[in-house]
Amino acid sequence: MKKAEVFIDGKKSVDLPILTDTMENQALDIRALRQQTGLITYDPGFGNTGSCQSQICYLDGEKGILRYRGYAIEDLVEHCDFIEVAYLLIHGYLPNKKERERYSQLLNRHSLLHADMQSFFRRYPENSHPMSILAAMVVSLSAFYQIDLEEDPELQIDLTVTRLMSKLRTIAAFSYRKMKGFDFVNPSHTYSYCANFLNMMFSSPVVPYEPNPIHVKAMNKLLILHADHEQNCSTTAVRLVGSSEANLYAAISAGICALWGPRHGGANQAVIDMLEQIHNSGENLSKVIERAKDKNDPFRLMGFGHRVYKTYDPRAMIAKKTCEEVLSAMGTSDPLLDIAEELEGVALEDDYFKEKNLYPNVDFYTGIIFRAMGIPTNMYTVMFALGRLPGWIAHWLEWHHDPFERIGRPRQLYMGPAVRVVPPINERE
């Protein structure tokens, strides 16, 4: 085993093992550091910190590689549908025809929502953001579909995973129907996962509706693109909440809340807001880029930049191609796509973006596809959550089955006042 020698004030202090992963990446194992030296490490944002060992997802940020359980994302979007990829992430292997069929029937069987839960939707204000409904409904599932670990725990967890995979889609569609003031449309056993979702979203009793196969195909691809991404912010939230032994519903609800932020999954909504603002104002794109570079301006180029990818996000590449395919198959165009492609061109020629390795990420083009499918902007991060769910579940299960797992509890550098005596209240300024 390789090791690193740590010298403190010129004196050798400790040997730290160096761990090597499947792809020859290396990590300094600092588990004994504080005990042997009294030192902790300091890494706000965890940019240099590995939180776990995982077999689920591999990213190479320099080469723009993304693999789920060893399969390249390009291969998966080409040859699989979302349910196969969800099965792969959760179970660790691709389902055969029989397993796929059985999984689909299982998901359908658990796709309904308790009638009492449906009444919750009515209590939300018209303009509620669907992510607030999603997070609240998911944690409420733990009240209606209790997990009794006294029984066969593995069976209980399996059941909870299936319920989550199926009911999140129903909750997402119901949150849209609530916003529109429409009656809910229940899932149907006649549709596949994505077609079912579109039917629950858009079918109407007064006009014939059939999910558009172009949209069904595009939705499968988009959900696969979002399905996992190793230790991102929301997945880390799921693992951290799970590490306290909170139930799976609670951990997933925490992941949904973390995803909502515009630095993370909320960026896909922010990208469309940004493109619409440029389209409506006719703002010169070079000026937009200058604003994004201006440290005194809080504006950032949404959908650009990434903690890990220092090259083009492979998912953005696929999303851009899918965007063009969907619009041309529908015989339509979208000025926002033209603006996005032009904006990308200007940014990638700019030294600031080149020096900082800022490229389009998964959120830059996906919103335009959701828009073409008739999904409203405030539902885009909900779509991201639908896609990311199997990844979150896979990471929760990996933590749950890890014999060495511990509760997540980082340290800190304390920079507050050393010690003070409490003055009586009438002596305080």
> Which is closer to ligand SDX, CB of 334 or CB of 363?
363
Residue 215 appears among annotated catalytic residues: no
Residues 185-244 that bind ligand SDX (CB under 6 A): 229, 232-233
Q: Which stretch binds ligand SDX (CB under 6 A): 62-70, 91-99, 103-111, 355-363?
A: 355-363
Question: Which among 228, 313, 334, 363 is annotated as catalytic?
Answer: 363
CA 323/CA 342 separation, integer angstroms: 15
Question: Which among 110, 129, 306, 395 is annotated as catalytic?
Answer: 306
Residue 306 appears among annotated catalytic residues: yes
Q: Which stretch binds ligand SDX (CB under 6 A): 12-20, 186-194, 264-272, 320-328?
A: 264-272
> Which is closer to ligand SDX, CB of 73 or CB of 358?
358
> Which is closer to ligand SDX, CB of 157 or CB of 274?
274
Residue 257 touching ligand SDX (CB under 6 A): no
> Which is closer to ligand SDX, CB of 265 or CB of 390?
265
Residue 303 touching ligand SDX (CB under 6 A): yes
Q: At 11, which amino acid appears?
A: K
Residues 27-56 that bind ligand SDX (CB under 6 A): 45
> Which is closer to ligand SDX, CB of 284 or CB of 328?
284
> Which is closer to ligand SDX, CB of 45 or CB of 181?
45
Task: Rule CB under 6 A: choose which of 301, 343, 368, 372 binds ligand SDX.
Answer: 301
Q: Which residues of 60-97 are buried (b: 16+ CB within 10 A; e: fewer)?
A: eeeebbbbbbebebeebbeebbbbbbbbbbbbeebbee
- Minimum Å distance from CB 33 to ligand SDX? 25
Our CA angle for 345, 347, 353, nearest 5°, is 140
- Minimum Å distance from CB 318 to ligand SDX? 13
Residue 304 touching ligand SDX (CB under 6 A): yes
- Minimum Å distance from CB 226 to ligand SDX? 7
Task: Rule CB under 6 A: choose which of 102, 109, 321, 356 binds ligand SDX.
Answer: 356
Task: Rule CB under 6 A: choose which of 135, 238, 288, 302 binds ligand SDX.
Answer: 302
Q: Which residues bind ligand SDX (CB under 6 A)?
A: 45, 229, 232-233, 263-265, 267, 292, 300-308, 356, 358, 361-363
Residues assigned a catalytic role: 306, 363
